[in-house]
């Protein structure tokens, strides 16, 4: 027995470890459940929701001003609907578990479901906006502030119209929204897929490499030209000479003058496609001048937008003001973490004339152009601005608190508040029979409620209500008959 003592010590140690583990697991032996939101998602508290609501209202007001209708589509689509529409980003699509029914995926954006909706319902023209959540299997641990579930906010014009008129309106909408939200200075970069494809052709990029080289060029806002060139040559197998020629073009920026110059360019002018794109850019700038937005728009040959479905004009809005850079990068959504060197994109879009035809059995094309507002990044900037501002964000819209100055007035308070609610006034009262007047007034200050209607024995006798302005503490007696119009006059300015 003395010789077998050694194993017993080992057993004791193992038992101690197991007991420790059991203690960690809790009494019933179940793992302690950690309460958290899933990776890449977040909750929004009332303050954040108040900011979000304000942003949504501004955007929706703009969409409606331009005559848009709204639709909704399912949060999941048939897997096949989404397959082959997103190029290299397809790997980020969330597939739902096969449960013996249809193979489904969560929507990756709102554009492909829109195209499916048009084809399925044989709609040939519509101007619609759609605000809803989309899902991407991004790696949020690696890319800070990049969510797996986030809102997209889209406006699209579908239909056969004269060149560049709807496209110009989309850019005007971006300009209006960014101005109204007051996020700081911004630029809207514009290019055309046909100009890019023409440029690739004249620079000697093989046809089958167009799309993959395009998604590399798309990284220019987050990588240096040296790194982009390295990826083209080493990873994508492009000749050094072709890459250098692309490098010359993608460094060009300008306006209508640049489009005119490129139409005369001995190489670019060899591409019919590029010439068609350049003529459209010229026309676009002509319309943008009439809309008075050219001060913010720049024709930029490095803009590529990686999605496969774009066929014509493409654009992206970026913030340029230093003050908002850190906010934009803090919780950006649609770009990588390396972007801390540049300012975040807050809107993007373009023309996609072939997407609806992909779904139509007869291949009928419905030309479309649209824009997506980068709502998550805008939220994060607005949140940061609210944090820095001394002004408190109100999370309710209550106009008046119904309070009592003495005991035993609950029934009178309930009667009065019911009258106010029935008249459409936003009102609150404390859920206590006999609340202290001081605690009722303090609650108003904390919640930002501007007015208090105070009831007391004397007021009831005289048929009046004491109306108190919380900010100035001034009090005035108002007759019951005039109370509702007085509240509206003071709060609905």
Binding residues: 109-111, 136, 152, 156, 305, 309-310
Extract the annotated binding site for L-histidine: 109-111, 136, 152, 156, 305, 309-310
Alpha-carbon span 382 to 314, nearest angstrom: 26
Burial of 143 from C-beta contacts in 10 A (0-12 / 13-18 / 19+): middle
Distance separating alpha carbons of residues 51 and 56, to the nearest angstrom: 9
What strand order describes the sheet that includes 368-373?
69-70, 126-135, 149-158, 368-373, 345-351, 313-319, 186-192, 297-300, 253-254
Instruction: State the angle between helix axes of 193-202 and 240-250 in degrees (0 to 180), rounded to the nearest 10.
Output: 140
CA distance 328 to 82: 29
How far is Cα 388 from Cα 191, in angstroms, rounded to an integer?
A: 36
Phi-psi region of 300 (alpha: psi -120 to 50; beta: other; left: phi over 0): beta
The CA dihedral of 210, 212, 218, 222, to the nearest 10 degrees, is -150
Does residue 424 come out as left (phi exceeding 0), alpha (psi in the -120 to 50 range) or beta? left
Rounded Cα gap, residues 116 and 73, in angstroms: 10
Q: Reduce the secondary structure of 274-321 to three states and give it as a string.
A: HHHHHHHHHHHHHHHHHCCCCCCEEEECCCCCCCCCCCCEEEEEEECC
């Amino acid at each position: 027995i003395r010789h077998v003592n050694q194993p017993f010590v080992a057993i004791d140690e193992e038992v101690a470890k197991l007991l420790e583990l059991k203690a960690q697991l809790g009494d019933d032996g179940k793992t302690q459940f950690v309460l958290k939101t899933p990776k890449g998602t977040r909750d929004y508290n009332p303050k954040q929701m108040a900011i979000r609501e304000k942003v949504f209202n501004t955007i929706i007001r703009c969409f409606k001003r331009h005559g848009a209708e709204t639709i909704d589509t399912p949060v999941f689509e048939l897997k096949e609907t989404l397959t082959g529409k997103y190029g290299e980003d397809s790997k980020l699509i969330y597939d739902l578990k096969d449960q013996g029914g249809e193979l489904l995926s969560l929507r990756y954006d709102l554009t492909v479901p829109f195209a499916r909706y048009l084809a399925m319902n044989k709609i040939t023209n519509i101007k619609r906006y759609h605000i809803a959540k989309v899902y991407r299997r991004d790696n949020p641990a690696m890319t800070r502030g990049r969510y797996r579930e986030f809102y997209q906010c889209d406006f699209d014009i579908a239909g056969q119209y004269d060149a560049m008129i709807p496209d110009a309106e989309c850019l005007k909408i971006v300009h209006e929204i960014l101005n109204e939200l007051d996020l700081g200075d911004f630029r809207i970069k514009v290019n055309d897929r046909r100009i890019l494809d023409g440029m690739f052709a004249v620079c000697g990029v093989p046809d089958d490499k167009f799309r993959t080289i395009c998604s590399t060029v798309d990284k220019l806002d987050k990588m240096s030209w040296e790194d982009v060139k390295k990826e083209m040559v080493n990873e994508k197998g492009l000749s050094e000479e072709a890459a250098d020629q692309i490098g010359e073009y993608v460094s060009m920026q300008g306006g209508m003058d640049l489009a005119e110059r490129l139409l005369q360019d001995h190489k670019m002018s060899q591409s019919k496609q590029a010439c068609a794109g350049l003529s459209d850019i010229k026309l676009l700038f002509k319309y943008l001048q009439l809309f008075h937005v050219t001060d913010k728009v720049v024709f930029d040959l490095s803009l590529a937008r990686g999605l496969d479905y774009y066929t014509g004009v493409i654009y992206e809005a970026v913030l340029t003001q230093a003050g908002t850079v850190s906010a934009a990068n803090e919780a950006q959504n649609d770009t990588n973490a390396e972007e801390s060197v540049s300012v975040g994109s807050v809107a993007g879009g373009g023309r996609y004339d072939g997407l609806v035809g992909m779904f139509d059995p007869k291949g009928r094309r419905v030309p479309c152009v649209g824009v997506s507002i980068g709502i998550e990044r805008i939220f994060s900037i607005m949140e940061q601005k609210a944090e820095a501002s001394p002004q408190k964000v109100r999370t309710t819209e209550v106009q008046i608190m119904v309070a009592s100055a003495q005991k035993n007035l609950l029934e009178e308070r309930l009667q009065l508040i019911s009258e106010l609610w029935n008249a459409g006034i936003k009102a609150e009262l404390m859920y206590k029979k006999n609340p202290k007047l001081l605690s009722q007034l303090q609650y108003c200050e904390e919640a930002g409620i501007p007015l208090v209607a105070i009831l007391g024995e004397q007021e009831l006798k005289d048929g009046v209500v004491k109306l108190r302005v919380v900010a100035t503490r001034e009090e005035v007696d108002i007759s019951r008959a005039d109370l509702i119009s007085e509240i509206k006059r003071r709060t609905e300015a």
